[in-house]
Structure 1
Amino acid sequence: MANVLIIDDDKGVCGLLSEMIENIGHHATSVHTLESGLHESSQKTYDVVFLDVGLPDGNGLEAIPRLLGTQPPPEVVIITGSGEPDGAEIAIRNGAWDYLQKPLSVVKILLPIKRVLQYRDDLSKHRKPAVALKVHGIVGGSQQMKACLDLVAQAADSETNVLISGETGTGKELIAHAIHGNSSRAPSSFVVVDCASLPETLVESSLFGYEKGAFTGADRARDGLIKQADGGTLFLDEVGELPLSIQKAFLRVLQERSFRPLGAKQEIRSDFRLIAATNRDLDQMVECGLFRKDLLYRLKTMSIVLSPLRDRPGDVKDLVMYYTARLCEFHGIATKGFSPEFF
């Protein structure tokens, strides 16, 4: 049975959708404002969200990224007014599964509802169940965090490239470490490339390495970070900061698993697993010509989107207790507690 959330200020629309959804064996919840809809979606896992564009407290189109940022992300079906065809196109481009145009009727919406629910049912049958994980430093028991750890388990059990997206401070590197630490590559190196802090003039030599005499100051040969990750995991942190010239070169490395260090005459191979992370909208960067579409396609073979703490308040208590215990241990004092009123 699927859980369906309906966000629409028209109670008639909510009633019609709820009745149809429950008549075919699923559960429906209705709310009438954008704020209450976003709160509800952060507290409970939903398979499908029907989202009106024109809500009293905001534009539904602007809420699509937040809804898709929950884990696991729901399918979003936009409900538009009769005069909003452009909004429907924008919604689809931003990840909405489908759209319905008012006025709604049983004939108009029955097939789309069945299609999206069947799609979610098929999707769930192919999801692997959660397994026991080593998750050092990852704290929280919210639905979003549990779903995220399910994805970590799936990623750890495969060799596929993973793109981790989320705001600064959401724990992207912790998730990358967890994927590596639970994979068959755990005994080998986890090599971090901080793309945001590498000067553009040093990116190529840092990644690919160089031979002695390759440039002024190269008084000895040095392995690049790609070679250092041989047998292990290469983590490209803030991959959106890579210069376009390096993006092209790195795309070839992903395709061939070989590269030529600066000044070298022969290519060398490196067997690494790639995990990348970003706090930027790479799809938008592609549209602006700042990121290669073909590289993004290869990076996001599997995608994990991390929700900010403000969208998972249920994790606040766990985090406070975890870091309080660590601080007390560090300072050699008895573990402190908190009164119920504090939370």
Structure 2
Amino acid sequence: MAKASAGIGGGAYLDDSDATVSGCRFENNVAEGIDLFGQLASFGAGLATRGPTHVLDMSDSSFVANAAGKGGSGGGIWVEDGAKAVLARTKFVNNTAASSYTHKGAGGGVAVSASASLTMSEGCVLEGNVAGPEDVGASDPSCLSGQGGGIHVSGSAITLSGVSLRRNRCETGALDAGCSGGAVSLTGRGPQATAAVAARDDDNNNNDSGGAAFDDCLFEGNEARGAATNNVYSGAGQGGAAAIRFAFPRFTGCNFTGNAAEGGGGAAPATGGAVLLFLSRGGGSSPAAAAAAAASDGGMETPPPTFVNCKFTSNIAGSGGVPTDGNALGRGFRQGHGIGGALAAIASSPLLSGCSFWNNSAVAVFPSSSDL
């Protein structure tokens, strides 16, 4: 399926439809359009699926170099409106979701929203996907930053097992504080994907979405890049591998290696070389927090973000995190500082068990007077 073009579903569009897809290749498809308010909006360049309870069952397929245009979500696949995507041995390579001045580019490989769900199993690969400004090299890309170079999830469930996420990245625009989630951006509210939690959700409070679970996944060489411009307002990267906001995922046996959150030219810090947690407390970190969570969550306690037997190796947050043009400080100087070479938890209460942290760095580089 090649060279198709549409606002939604450049290669294929599934609405209220169940589909089984095997051995298919989606390449060089484009989704580009304008929404009802005249804003740029593009969804699912390779494939878009939507509709409550409907299932996309896909295996042994690939999405290569598909592009969701400005205001884009899901360079490879867009899953929305309660649909379920179940993927096995499927690859997403070099797909893009571009930002506009009104919409962040979201999910270079896959975007999931509106109570939909995504399950990816062993053999799935996301590599070289990008979310963010379309013209990264411009002196002032006048658009918002990207979120989720590989995957962006908003208010939905995601389960990844044995998935490799390598060299994905998000880029920073000129209109906000910076991009988030080089490989994965997760925004929303939901518990960990456990049968016990799901069984207790009888009050329709969105907890049956299953939350987010990552088992035995590899996050390697992903980047959340800082702004290409050098001024005091330039944004910085957040969460080189994963940026998590208002959500409570569980990571088990995952390996975070060589990921980077890069500083911008301004004062904003590069945050979380591998993982950023922001406002993700959960309800299990203390009796008081549990009581507060139960009171606000229909009587149900929400588990905290959890990391079990995970490895964090050679991740970096800060100036010059990843040289991109031969300059040791990255693209020009990087004035901002770094916070959390491997993990940065801000107003969050993570639970870590059996994890190892080795050779990670939080770096601050300030220009000399001759550089200004």
> Does 1 or 2 have the higher relative contact order (CA < 8 Å, sep 6+)?
1
TM over 0.5: no
TM range (shorter): under 0.3
| TM-score (norm. length: structure 2) | 0.24
Q: TM-score, normalised by structure 1?
A: 0.25
Q: Which has the larger radius of gyration?
A: 1
| Structure with higher helix content | 1
